[in-house]
Amino acid sequence: MKQAFRNEQGGRIDRSKPLGFVFNGKAMQGYSGDTLASALLANGVRIVSRSFKFHRPRGIVSAGVEESGGILAVDYGTGLQPIVRSTQMPLVDGLRAESQNCFPSLGFDLLRVFDYTRSLWPAGFYNKIFKWPDWHAFEWAIRRSAGLGRLPDSMSHARFCHMNAHCDVLVVGAGPAGLSAALQAARAGDDVMLVEQDNEPGSSLLHDLSEIDGQPPAAWLAGTLAELRGADNVKILTLATVAGYYDCNVVTIHDRVAAYRRDDPIEIFWKVRAGRVVLATGAIEQPIMFGNNDLPGIMLAGAMRQYANRYSVRCGGRIVAVVNNDLAWQSVAALPESGMEVAAIIDSRDSIDDALADQARQHGIDVYPGAAPIAASGSNGVRKLQYRDREGRSRTIECDAIAVSGGMSPTVHLYSQAGGRLRYDEQLACFLPRECRQEVTVTGAANGEFATARTYHIGPRKPSAAKTSCQWVDFLHDVTASDIELACRENLRSVEHVKRYTTTGMAADQGKTSNLNTLTLLGDLTGRSLGEVGTTTFRPMFMPVTMGTIAGVRRGAFYTAAKRLPAHDWHAAKGAEFEDSGGWDRPAWYGKDRAACIRRETLLVRESVGLFDASSLGKIEVKGPDAAEFLNRIYVNTVPNLKQGKVRYGLMLNENGIMLDDGVFIRLADDHFLINTTSGNADGIAGWLEEWHQGEWPGMDLVISPVTSQWAVVTVAGPKSRDVLRTLPGMIELSTKQFPHMSFASGVFDDGTPYRIQRVSFTGEMSYELSVPANCATAYFERVWAAGQVHSIGLFGVESLMILRLEKGFLHVGGDTDTTSNPFDAGFRKIVASKQGDFIGVRSLQRAEDKRGDRRQLIGFETNDKDATVSAGAHIVTGHGVTQRSEGFVTSACLSPTLGKTIGLALLERGFERQGETITLYDEGRLTTGRIVDACFYDPRGERMRG
Amino acid sequence: MLRIACPHCGTRDEVEFRCGGDAHIERPGSEVSDAVWADYLFNHDNPKGVILERWCHVFGCGQWFNVARDTLTHEIHAVYRMGEPAPERYR
Amino acid sequence: MATIRPSTSYFTFGGGEPAYTSYAQRGGIPVVEENVAAVLELLPAFSSLRLMRQWAGITDITPDTMPIMGATPLRNLYMSGGWGTGGYKAIPAGGDTMAYTIANDAPHPLIKDFDLDRFERGALIDEGAASGVAH
């Protein structure tokens, strides 16, 4: 339990709150305020994982978002999550962490054989080496050894939710620059959101002890936070990482502030619309290239200071620093105060600022300007560093940790995502923001303002004398300098190509510490400046975000929330099996045995009476002096001569002459129509009417009002339907003489419920659609149900409805037609011919193509074997072998319970002239024969429907 | 994500809207040739730059209006009502 | 959502398009949300996996979502475009039939219906099911 590398005093951790955690099965202890990384370091853990390709040992490298080594599988109560950055994982009690990519164990990894035979596996190796005899012979083994971590086996226990916010100013990053910007905006009265990915605001103020505005950093931070927290126009988010910066200053944030709670963990995805964004995102220290620069114990200099000052953790006992810039000297100078011996600072620059050198010497640090690292050595951690001194002599120095710093690289990711362009600054040796069209400003280190007290000097990043095959560029994807050389030799010059070829920068750390070194190498190899090389494109997510967070509540039942019928529960109580149908949960059949139920329901409607919920039927009212003329342009059918109280079938086309939707329309009054659409198209057609009214015929005086959900529709179908309905007190006279097929009326029931009734039929039987206000749905299903008991009324669902309509040969637009079917193809030639005037699609029907006789036309067929099954989608084929071709396909088919044979509809070339012809159906490998018959299989004269 | 200023409701997220494609397309009469009709139906400009298009605030007021939008930068330069001419510089 | 493609330490998935013309090649958050939700609907255990990157490209989509293949009004200029989302399944056949078309200066029988003039004729093609386009 001993934290051997933790100092007795100092830091911002709370020693009164010890936290237990388990790493690879071993119990350890840290403190409240630790990250998982700082706790592991405090416990002396040097190797935390293995690298992705060569299974080389990896230790913790950084103290932040850029971490490439300390990436673990972590369970903090929501199940084991792969690929978690230990540097960003607040330590919580009971946390369990496991190394990834080790086989069989972290200490002894068999797959390190890949490392010892490294020269065999260069970039793109799988495209080159495993060619013979066949890639598939090797695929299994490669897939087994590749990958990073294990997939969780179940859904996360966490809840995920989305939050939406607006603000005047969004400040990203709560370091000194971000805090100052937030304060300034708050004082000006702006609504401010300040977002910090750490678990407390402050950033460098938490570990850099130099004064700010003449105050100690802690005092400055306390004062600033007090003012911000006291202001009611400021909202501060912590443990919240800005993930993406999109158009129109829309910014997404992954908020983990409640994610690590034992009870009810929640991850939040914020979508913030900001008037202005201030990026105070700081800068990321870059590593240095030399031999074996990936050994555990080699860390970023700034991170070492951060662990020392903030977490009171020593990252080593005897440290050597390898640097090229001034800031690193300050980081390293802070280490001796925390009990670490710093043996030497090796700086590639020939001249060092005197003050810095003096300060170092006072701490007993040897100073080697103009020196360059060659290679580190040690098997599972660094033991020695070989370097070349100013005179060119090779020297070796013993150490157990190396602090590296190749200079600062501003965190311009979000700026770049926003569409901002970058420029390369030779002086600062980094890419800086240049210009952006969005309302965004960049401040602090993110803008290259690295040092407030003194100027920042950085030397060039020089190539090391070590073998390039042991100089690591991407620590996670195991990309070496020799891989970049190989890419250049193979003539890949564009940085985007080199990235994809070598996969550098594409690992889970997203290249935060590998991109700049890659660009530098590429520039050196191709004789270009970094400005000319450019950067790869920065894309969201800045930090990977759990997919559950992005999906939010759109999971399970909320993925596509179905609409429910107003009498849903009544149907459920009657044993309905629900299926999605046009976006609605509709009863598909009632009972257990699907096939038997559908057959029973079909015959029930044919023989006596069935009850069906048609509430989802699209209902749109169109009212106004120009309503008739407007609808006349919408429908292929003629509208103006329809009499009040009468119903007519209507077919809509799109402007390309393709059938769009069908249904009946009703004239309620001279200037008032009610139109029905198919269930799935109700919203679409309402939008379609609005688009044509507002966009094409705005002068027409009318209003369009969708009323689908206002009315529940109780459909009563079958020879006894009239007998059932006429018993309802207040029902109109339903005799065929008074109320024939295709009539409409409205009335009021005895209980005061208003109703509408239309006699229309989609089943081929006498049928009435009774509409009552949606809130009366259950009452009226119950009422009609009760009234029908003497006639043994039963319920029928969508499945039997589709059989009933198929037996009758009624078209299902979109099912029996596709996006090339015009009205001629479905036998509506007469309706088109009798139409006068303009309507949508009319011009397209005049094209020669649309009138051709050899188009695919909708025909009926029956199979020769009465019991043969045929699926929708089966092809009608002609010819044999290689000359066999499809002449069309089945759009609907069923074994008709009424007729006792298999029938169907099909779109078939020249179908209309082929009545009686024998056809061959190809259905999932089986051939079936049938013949073309009239598409109306049942009661072709319509006597039962009109009776 | 686009933020679009509906002339009736104010600025809202793109998910509340539906893009209806090119604005100012004139519907020809039935007498035109197949070629002219095909131009109307299918052959439209596809600029990398400012496009004039119709948008409908579907999950809002339900009204259509016109937008001048840059297809590369996604900047919205102008919003104007149906029936109004495009701003001079984008015609 | 169209495709999930497994790779080494990550997998790629994608599909959908914004409902407006764009050359931005960035991709907005609504499409990302839709895609991620679709993946989780299929594979709920992926909820604690992390989305690393998003990007978008330009797809060339014709009015009937089918490619345009064959001769153009300019002599000796042939076209094979508008593959949109279907190209990486159909292009072996597309390449073969285009080679035939160019060599013979006459459309291969399999692609004669995919000519550029089909829009003027009104002879659009519906092979949605074959190309895997979501309906």
Residues A822-880 have pLDDT tens digits of 999 999 999 999 999 999 999 999 999 999 999 999 999 999 998 889 999 999 999 88
Residue A654 has pLDDT above 90, yes or no: yes
**Residues A15 and A67: beta-carbon distance below 8 Å:** no
Facing C51 at nearest CB: one of A81, A152, A547 = A547
Chain A: residues touching B (Cβ < 8 Å): 246-250, 271, 273, 419, 437, 655-656, 687, 690-691, 694-696, 698, 838, 842-844, 846-847
pLDDT at residue A154 in the model: 75
CA atoms of A451 and A459, how far apart (whole Å): 16
- In terms of Cβ atoms closer than 10 Å to its own Cβ (0-12, 13-18, 19+), residue A259 is buried
- In terms of Cβ atoms closer than 10 Å to its own Cβ (0-12, 13-18, 19+), residue C91 is middle
CA atoms of A921 and A904, how far apart (whole Å): 11
pLDDT at residue C134 in the model: 42
CA distance A875 to chain C (A): 13
pLDDT band for C127, please (50, 70, 90 cuts): confident
- In terms of Cβ atoms closer than 10 Å to its own Cβ (0-12, 13-18, 19+), residue A668 is middle
Facing A81 at nearest CB: one of C33, C38, C48 = C48
Q: Tokens 């620093």 map to which residue?
A: A321
pLDDT band for A155, please (50, 70, 90 cuts): confident
DSSP H/E element including A351 = none
Q: Spell out which residues of chain B touch residue A850, defining contact as CB-CB under 8 Å.
A: none
Ranking A40-44, A145-149, A501-505 by mean pLDDT, the lowest is: A145-149
DSSP assignments along A512-539, one per residue: TTTHHHHHHHHHHHHT--HHHH--PPP-
Ranking A140-154, A456-470, A556-570, A847-861 by mean pLDDT, the lowest is: A140-154
pLDDT at residue A152 in the model: 75
**In terms of Cα–Cα distance, which of A906, A910, A685, A684 is closest to A816?**
A906
**Residues A611 and A796: beta-carbon distance below 8 Å:** yes
Tell me where in chain A the CATH 3.30.70.1400 domain(s) lie. 618-709
CA atoms of A453 and A104, how far apart (whole Å): 51
Answer yes or no: do C53 and A656 touch at CB < 8 A: no
φ, ψ at A828 (rounded to 5°)? -100, 25
pLDDT at residue A459 in the model: 87
pLDDT band for A464, please (50, 70, 90 cuts): confident
Facing C120 at nearest CB: one of B14, B18, B35 = B35
pLDDT at residue A867 in the model: 83
Ranking A295-304, A510-519, A629-638, A742-751 by mean pLDDT, the lowest is: A510-519
**Residues A63 and A86: beta-carbon distance below 8 Å:** no
pLDDT at residue A171 in the model: 98
CA distance C103 to chain A (A): 23
Which residues, other chains included, contact A362 with Cβ-Cβ below 8 Å and sequence gap of 6+?
Answer: none
pLDDT band for A614, please (50, 70, 90 cuts): very high
**Which pair of tokens denotes residue A579?**
């299926």
Chains with 3 or more CB pairs under 8 A to chain A: B, C
Chains with 3 or more CB pairs under 8 A to chain C: A, B
CATH class, domain A14-126, is alpha beta
pLDDT, average across residues A876-888: 90
**Which ipTM was obtained for this model?**
0.98
CA angle A579, A585, A591 (to 5 degrees): 50
**Residue C46 vs residue A574, higher pLDDT:** A574
CA atoms of A243 and B62, how far apart (whole Å): 33
CA distance C75 to chain A (A): 26
CA atoms of A213 and A182, how far apart (whole Å): 16
**In terms of Cα–Cα distance, which of B70, A369, A521 is closest to C22?**
B70
Q: Quick one: CA dihedral A569, A571, A574, A579, positive or negative? A: negative
Tell me where in chain A the CATH 1.10.10.1100 domain(s) lie. 467-528
pLDDT at residue A924 in the model: 86
Could you give the maximum distance between any two Cα atoms of chain A, in Å? 116
**Which pair of tokens denotes residue A133?**
């005899």
pLDDT at residue C1 in the model: 45
CA atoms of A429 and A432, how far apart (whole Å): 9
Which residues, other chains included, contact A52 with Cβ-Cβ below 8 Å and sequence gap of 6+?
Answer: A101, A146, A148, A476, A477, A478, A507, C8, C9
Q: Spell out which residues of chain B touch residue A694, defining contact as CB-CB under 8 Å.
A: 63-64, 82
Residues C43-86 have pLDDT tens digits of 988 898 999 999 988 888 899 989 999 999 999 999 999 988 67
**In terms of Cα–Cα distance, which of B64, C10, C110 is closest to A146?**
C10
Residue A256 has pLDDT above 60, yes or no: yes
Average pLDDT of chain A, as a whole number: 93
DSSP H/E element including C125 = none
**Topology of the domain covering A158-285+407-456+536-560:** FAD/NAD(P)-binding domain (3.50.50)
Facing B2 at nearest CB: one of A248, A687, A846 = A248
Residue C132 has pLDDT above 60, yes or no: no
Facing C21 at nearest CB: one of B1, B41, B71 = B71
Number of CB atoms found within 10 A of residue A592's CB? 9
Q: Tokens 């298009």 map to which residue?
A: B53
**In terms of Cα–Cα distance, which of A351, A345, A322, A355 is closest to A453?**
A355
**Which pair of tokens denotes residue B45?**
């400009």
pLDDT at residue A115 in the model: 73
**Which pair of tokens denotes residue A541?**
């997510």
pLDDT at residue A43 in the model: 97
pLDDT band for C4, please (50, 70, 90 cuts): low
DSSP H/E element including A125 = helix A125-128
Q: Tokens 């279907």 map to which residue?
A: C86
**Which pair of tokens denotes residue A901?**
């044979």
CA atoms of A584 and A578, how far apart (whole Å): 9
Answer yes or no: do A695 and B82 touch at CB < 8 A: yes
Tell me where in chain A the CATH 3.10.20.440 domain(s) lie. 14-126
Residue A414 has pLDDT above 50, yes or no: yes
pLDDT, average across residues A221-248: 97
Answer yes or no: do C53 and A158 touch at CB < 8 A: no
CA atoms of A92 and A70, how far apart (whole Å): 17
CA atoms of A804 and A609, how far apart (whole Å): 13
**Topology of the domain covering A467-528:** Arc Repressor Mutant, subunit A (1.10.10)
pLDDT, average across residues A277-302: 97
Number of CB atoms found within 10 A of residue A544's CB? 21
pLDDT at residue A861 in the model: 98
Average pLDDT of chain C, as a whole number: 86
CA atoms of A410 and C106, how far apart (whole Å): 58
Amino acid letter, residue A581? S
User: What domains lie within chain B, and their CATH numbers?
Assistant: 3-90 (3.30.2270.10)
CA atoms of A87 and A68, how far apart (whole Å): 10
Number of CB atoms found within 10 A of residue B38's CB? 21
Facing A247 at nearest CB: one of B32, B34, B74 = B74
Residue A514 has pLDDT above 90, yes or no: yes
pLDDT at residue C133 in the model: 45
**Residues A87 and A307: beta-carbon distance below 8 Å:** no
CATH class, domain A618-709, is alpha beta
Answer yes or no: do C52 and A541 touch at CB < 8 A: yes
Cα A496 → chain centroid: 24
pLDDT band for A560, please (50, 70, 90 cuts): confident
pLDDT at residue A569 in the model: 98
Which residues, other chains included, contact B10 with Cβ-Cβ below 8 Å and sequence gap of 6+?
Answer: none
Could you give the percent of chain A with pLDDT greater than 90? 84
Best of A167, A247, A849, A852 to substitute, by most chain B Cβ atoms within 10 angstroms, is A247
Chains with 3 or more CB pairs under 8 A to chain B: A, C
Mapped onto helix, strand or coil, the DSSP state of residue A451 is: coil
DSSP assignments along A195-225, one per residue: E-SSSSTTGGGGT--S-BTTB-HHHHHHHHH
Check: CATH 3.50.50.60 for A287-406? yes
CA atoms of C69 and C67, how far apart (whole Å): 6
Tell me where in chain A the CATH 3.30.1360.120 domain(s) lie. 564-615+710-804
**Residue A622 vs residue C28, higher pLDDT:** A622
Answer yes or no: do A539 and C32 touch at CB < 8 A: no
CA atoms of A620 and A639, how far apart (whole Å): 15
pLDDT at residue A137 in the model: 59
φ, ψ at A105 (rounded to 5°)? -145, 170
Mapped onto helix, strand or coil, the DSSP state of residue A693 is: helix
CA atoms of A917 and A905, how far apart (whole Å): 14
Answer yes or no: do C19 and B46 touch at CB < 8 A: no
pLDDT at residue A130 in the model: 54
DSSP assignments along A627-689, one per residue: HHHHHHHHBSS--TTPPTTBEEEEEEE-TTS-EEEEEEEEEEETTEEEEEE-GGGHHHHHHHH
Residues A736-793 have pLDDT tens digits of 999 999 999 999 999 999 999 999 999 999 999 999 999 999 999 999 999 999 999 9
Chain B: residues touching A (Cβ < 8 Å): 1-3, 13, 18, 20, 27-30, 32, 34, 37, 41, 54, 56, 58, 62-64, 73-75, 82-83
**Residues A480 and A472: beta-carbon distance below 8 Å:** yes
Residue A454 has pLDDT above 90, yes or no: no
Residues A74-131 have pLDDT tens digits of 999 888 888 899 999 999 999 999 998 766 677 666 666 667 777 666 666 655 655 5
pLDDT at residue C135 in the model: 36
Q: CATH number of the domain at A853-946, out of 1.10.10.10, 3.40.50.300, 1.10.3720.10, 2.40.30.110?
A: 2.40.30.110
CA atoms of A393 and A183, how far apart (whole Å): 53
Facing C47 at nearest CB: one of A419, A544, A548 = A548
Residue C7 has pLDDT above 50, yes or no: yes
Residue range A564-615+710-804, CATH number: 3.30.1360.120
pLDDT at residue A193 in the model: 98
